Amino acid sequence: MIRTRGEKIFTVVNYIFLTLLAVLMIYPFWDIVRISLSTPAEAAKLSFTLFPKEPTTAAYAQVFRNEFIWQGYGNTIIRILLGMPLQLVLMVATAYPLSKKDLPYRNVFTLVIVFTMFFTGGLIPNYLLVKSLHLDNTIWALILPGAIPTFNMLIVRNNFMSIPTSLEESAYIDGAGVVRTLWSIILPLSMPILMTVALWGLVGHWNAWFDCLLYISDPDKYVLQAILRKIIIESAPQFGDMAVMTTEDNVPSAEVVKAATIMVSTLPILVVYPFIQKYFVKGVMVGSLKG
C-alpha cells in the first residue's frame, strides 16, 4: 500500500508526539529511581541527570529494616487475596442475572444500582455504618464497602449480554443447569473482561489508603500505602527512623529514603501488570458492545 505524502508526515508527527509523551510519563518515575540509588549529597543537587554517579542501595537497606513496611506488605496482600476474589464473585453473581431480559424488574434493579454511582450517603454516614456493624479496625472495613464496584459490574453485565443466547440454550438442551452453564460456558468466554476488572480491583486495593486512615486505628493493621503516606507526607516517628536528615555519604537522607520507599511500594504492581495488560483493551472493548 502506497502512502501519500500527507500520511507519511502524519505518521512522523504521531511518532514524535507519542515519544515525547512517553518521555514525559517515564522520566518522573525514573527520577525517583535515580534518587533512591543516589548518595545524600548527589540527591540534594538540583541537576538534570539520568544515572546516579555513585550508585548505592543504602536507602533500600534502611527501608527493608523497617518492620512496618513488611507489616504493610502483609496487610495489603491479605486485603488483595480476600478482596479481589470477593469482588469477582459478587460482580458475576450480580451481573449475570441483570444480563437476562426476562428478569422481573430488571430495569428497576439496574436503575437503583446505577443511582449509587452518582449519589452516595457521604463520608460520615459511611463511617457510622461501618462502625455500627463493628467492622472498624478490621480488614473487612477495607473490603466490604467496595465489594461490588458499580462501574465494573456494569461492564461485566454488558459483556454477558453480548454472548449469544443460543450457546446457553444449547447447554440447557444438553441438561446443564444455570450454574453449570455459567461456569462452563459464560465465564470462559468472558475471561478477557474478568481479567480486566480483576486488574482494576488489584490496582485499586493496592493503591488504597484513605479508607485505611478512616477505619483502622491500630498501626499494626495499616496497609502499605497508608504507611507510605505516613512516612513520606507526615514523617511520622512511630513508623521508624525513616527520615533522618543528613548529608553523610554512608547515611541515606530523608529524600533518598522516601524515594526508595516509593519504589518498594510501586515495583510489585508494576511486575504484575504486564501479565494482565494484554487482556485490558480486548476486555474493555468486549464489555462495551451492548448497553
Determine the pLDDT at residue 287: 45
Task: Give the pLDDT means over successive 10-residue stretches in the chain (291 positions).
Answer: 82 93 89 84 71 82 84 92 93 92 89 87 88 92 91 90 85 84 88 87 90 90 88 62 48 76 83 71 49 43
Determine the pLDDT at residue 90: 93
Please state, in angstroms and rounded to a whole number, the distance separating the CA atoms of residues 41 and 28.
20
Domains of the chain: 5-60 (no CATH), 64-287 (1.10.3720.10)
Contact between 67 and 259 under an 8 Å Cβ cutoff? The reply is no
The pTM (predicted TM-score) of the whole model is 0.78
Residues 6+ apart with CB under 8 A from 101: none
Determine the pLDDT at residue 288: 45
Determine the pLDDT at residue 121: 80
CA-to-CA separations, 179 to 93, 94, 150, 199, 275, in angstroms, rounded? 10, 13, 23, 25, 29
Sign of CA dihedral 187, 191, 195, 196: negative
